[in-house]
Amino acid sequence: MNAVSPTPTKKYDLSFARWVRDNIDGGDRMNMCMQCGVCSGSCPLSDQMDLGPRKIFMMVRAGMKEAVLKSNSFFQCVSCYNCVVRCPREVPVKYILHGLGRLAIQEGYQDKKDVANARFADAFWWSVTTFGKTDERLVPTLYFFSAGFVEGIKKSLANLKIALGMLKTKRMHIGMPHKTKNRGELKAILEKAVEIQARHEGGA
Amino acid sequence: MGKKFTFYPGCSSEGSGVHLDTSTRAVMAKLGFELEDISDWNCCGASVGDLAAGHLPTAALSARNLAQAKEQGDQDVMTACAACYLNTHATNEEIRDNEQSRADLNEALAAAGKSYDGSLHVRHACEVLVNDVGMDAIKAQVSNPLEGLKVAGYIGCQTVRPFAGTERGGDYSEYDHPSFLDDFIKASGAEAVDFENATSCCGGSVAVMKPEQTLHLMHKILSEAKEKQADVIATPCPLCQTNVEMYQDAINKKYGTDFNIPVVFHTQLLAVAMGLDSKKDAALHQNIIPADKLKAMAK
Give CATH 1.10.1060.10 domain extents, chain A: 14-110
User: pLDDT digit string (tens) for B16-53?
Assistant: 999 999 999 999 999 999 999 999 999 999 999 999 99
Say what the pLDDT of residue B79 is.
98
Q: Assess whether pLDDT exceeds 90 at residue A195.
A: yes
Stated length of chain B: 299
Q: How far is A62 from chain B (nearest CA, A)?
A: 24
Is a pLDDT exceeding 60 seen at residue B3?
Answer: yes
Lowest mean pLDDT among A29-38, A98-107, B3-12, B173-182: B173-182
Q: Is the pLDDT of residue B177 over 90?
A: no
Other CB atoms within 10 Å distance of the CB of residue A9: 8
Q: Express each pLDDT in A27-36 by its tens digit.
A: 999 999 999 9
Tell me the nearest-neighbour CA distance from B210 into chain A, angstroms.
Answer: 8
Measuring CA to CA, which residue among B295, B293, B281 is closest to residue B141? B281
Check whether A202 has a pLDDT greater than 90. Answer: no
What's the whole-number mean pLDDT along residues B69-77? 98
**In chain A, whose CA is at the least distance from the CA of B208?**
A140
- Cβ pair B51:A117 closer than 8 A: yes
Closest C-alpha among B57, B123, B115 to residue B89: B123
User: How much is the pLDDT for B299?
Assistant: 86
Q: Give bridge partners of residue B264 from the DSSP assignment.
A: B234
Q: What is the mean pLDDT of the segment spanning B231-248?
A: 97
From the candidate CATH numbers 3.40.190.10, 3.40.50.720, 3.40.50.2000, 3.40.50.11810, the one assigned to the domain spanning B144-288: 3.40.50.11810
List every span in chain B annotated with CATH 3.40.50.11810.
144-288
Task: Classify residue B53 by its DSSP letter.
Answer: H
- pLDDT class for B2, splitting at 50, 70, 90? low
pTM for this predicted structure = 0.96
Where in chain B is CATH 1.20.1050.140?
4-124
Per-residue pLDDT band for A3 (boundaries 50, 70, 90) equals confident
SS3 state at B124: strand
Q: How far is B108 from chain A (nearest CA, A)?
A: 5
Distance CA B79, CA B237 (A): 11
* Mean pLDDT (whole number) for B81-97: 97
Q: How many CB pairs under 8 A join A and B?
A: 190
DSSP state of B164: T
Binary contact (A120, B246; C-beta < 8 A): no
pLDDT at A25 exceeding the cut of 60: yes
Q: What percent of chain A stands above pLDDT 70?
A: 99
CB distance from A44 to chain B under 8 Å?
yes
Task: Name, in order, each residue with C-beta under 8 angstroms of B183's C-beta and a sequence gap of 6 or more.
Answer: B130, B135
Examine the pLDDT at B174 and tell me if it is beyond 90. no
- Find out if CATH 2.60.40.420 is the number for domain A14-110: no
> What's the mean per-residue pLDDT of chain A?
94
pLDDT at B168 over 90: no
Q: At what angle do helices A183-201 and B99-110 cross, to 10 degrees?
A: 140
CB neighbour burial string for B12-31, b if at least 16 within 10 angstroms, e if fewer: bbbbbbbbbbbbbbbbbebb
Confidence grade of residue B167 (pLDDT, cut at 50, 70, 90): confident
- Mean pLDDT over B234-241 rounds to 98
* Nearest chain B alpha carbon to A158: B250
Residues A34-83: pLDDT tens digits?
999 999 999 999 999 999 999 999 999 999 999 999 999 999 999 999 99
Chain A positions touching B246 (Cβ under 8 A) are 162, 165-166
Per-residue confidence (pLDDT) for residue A204, from 0 to 100: 59
Residues A159-173 pLDDT 10s: 999 999 999 999 999
Predicted confidence band at A96 (pLDDT cuts at 50, 70, 90)?
very high
Give per-residue pLDDT as tens, B197-232: 999 999 999 999 999 999 999 999 999 999 999 999
Inter-chain residue contact B11 with A136, CB threshold 8 Å? yes
> Are B19 and A171 spatial neighbours (Cβ–Cβ below 8 Å)?
yes
Class for domain B4-124, per CATH?
Answer: mainly alpha
Among A24-33, B144-153, B170-179, name the one with the lowest average pLDDT.
B170-179
A122 at B interface, C-beta within 8 A = yes
Of B15, B64, B111, the CB nearest to A171: B15
For A97-102, what is the mean pLDDT?
96
Residue A1: predicted pLDDT = 58
Asked if pLDDT for residue B1 goes beyond 50, the answer is no
State whether residue A2 sits within 8 Å of chain B by CB. no
Task: Report, as an integer, the average pLDDT of A123-136.
Answer: 97
